[in-house]
């Protein structure tokens, strides 16, 4: 029990470019998720500044940060966070509904996204009927369907076995290359680390190392 302030991130100075496939790596409590939440405009730094797609997080109103998340940011969560009462199709359709995209176009975009992740045969299934790998692929389709500029993935493989982890990582890598979407992973999973092209090691809220891997 303590009453003092906890500093999750300290002295961070990072820039992410278009089309990056980056891992923010560190043990639990190192500040990975906090960093991802700030980039995702779900949290605001108590000090310092964060610019997301040219906009200062601190200056965003609740409506403008929601608008930014709605159109430019995609999220993938460790436990998938799918809507249990919706079908696969409806889950993927949700971000497009929020954007008010018209039905025919919406349908095509959802089918495209499901094709990217190889789940066109599961459109009528409910999340409870899917395996962990399939659920995470639905989550990827939901994050990608609106063609966001940045996808933030918090421990996306934590609940998956090795085969499924590689499968979804390959899917994300492919989407990253084809659509030039920036992927930022918060992870300490070696499998994810083996895929990323930039590794940012966080320790006690500070950047311990920032490495760019040449995979060519």
Partner 1 sequence: MMAFNLAFRNLLGAGLRTWLNVIVLSFSFVIIIWTKGLLQGWDRQARHDMIKWEIGGGQYWHASYDPYDPFTLSDSHGAIPEGLAAIASDTSIVPVLIAQGTIFPAGRMQSVLIKGIPPEQKILALPTEKLVSADNDIPAIIGSSMAENTRLGEGDYVTLRWRDRNGTFDATEIRIAGLFETTVPTVDVGQVWIPLEKLREMMLLPGEATVLIAGELTGEVSVTDEWVFKDHKTLLADIEQIIKAKGSMGVIIWGILLLLAMLAVFDTQVFSIFRRQKEIGTYVALGMTRGEVVKLFTIEGAMNSVLAAAVGAIYGIPLLTLQAVNGISIPVKSSDYGLAMAEKLYPVYSIGLIAGTVLIVMLVTTIVSYWPSRKIARLNPTEALRGRMQ
- Write out the residues near partner 1 by the rule CB under 8 A: 33, 37, 40, 42-43, 62-63, 66-67, 69-71, 75, 77, 79, 81, 83-86, 90, 94-95, 97-100, 142
**Shortest Å distance, C-beta 21 to partner 1:** 21
**CB distance 73 to 150 below 8 Å:** yes
Per-residue burial over 66-79, b = 16 or more CB atoms within 10 Å of its CB, e = otherwise: eebbeebbbbbbbe
Nearest residue (CB) to partner 1, 85 versus 162? 85
- 113 — phi, psi (to 5°)? -65, -40
CA distance 14 to 60: 20
- Nearest distance from residue 81's CB to partner 1, in Å? 4
Residues, the chain, total? Answer: 216
Compute the least distance from the CB of residue 92 to partner 1, in Å. Answer: 11
60 vs 192 by CB, closer to partner 1: 60
Q: Which residues pair with 182 in a beta bridge?
A: 150
By beta-carbon proximity to partner 1, the closer residue of 119 and 143 is: 143
Looking at the Cβ atoms of 79 and 108, the one nearer to partner 1 is: 79
């Amino acid at each position: 029990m303590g009453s003092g302030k906890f500093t999750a991130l300290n002295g961070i100075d990072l820039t992410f470019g278009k089309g990056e496939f980056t891992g923010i790596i560190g043990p639990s409590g190192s500040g990975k998720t906090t960093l991802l939440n700030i980039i995702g405009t779900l949290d605001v730094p108590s000090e310092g500044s964060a610019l997301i797609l040219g906009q200062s997080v601190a200056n965003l109103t609740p409506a403008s940060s929601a608008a930014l998340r709605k159109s430019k940011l995609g999220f993938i969560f460790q436990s998938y966070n799918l809507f249990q009462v919706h079908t696969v199709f409806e889950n993927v359709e949700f971000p497009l509904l929020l954007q008010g995209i018209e039905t025919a176009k919406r349908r095509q975009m959802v089918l495209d996204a499901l094709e990217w992740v190889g789940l066109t045969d599961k459109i009528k299934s409910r999340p409870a009927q899917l395996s962990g790998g399939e659920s995470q692929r639905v989550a990827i389709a939901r994050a990608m369907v609106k063609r966001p500029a940045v996808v933030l993935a918090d421990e996306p493989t934590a609940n998956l076995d090795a085969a499924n982890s590689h499968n979804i990582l390959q899917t994300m890598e492919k989407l990253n290359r084809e659509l030039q979407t920036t992927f930022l992973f918060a992870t300490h999973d070696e499998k994810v680390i083996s895929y990323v092209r930039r590794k940012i090691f966080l320790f006690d809220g500070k950047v311990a190392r920032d490495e760019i891997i040449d995979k060519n």
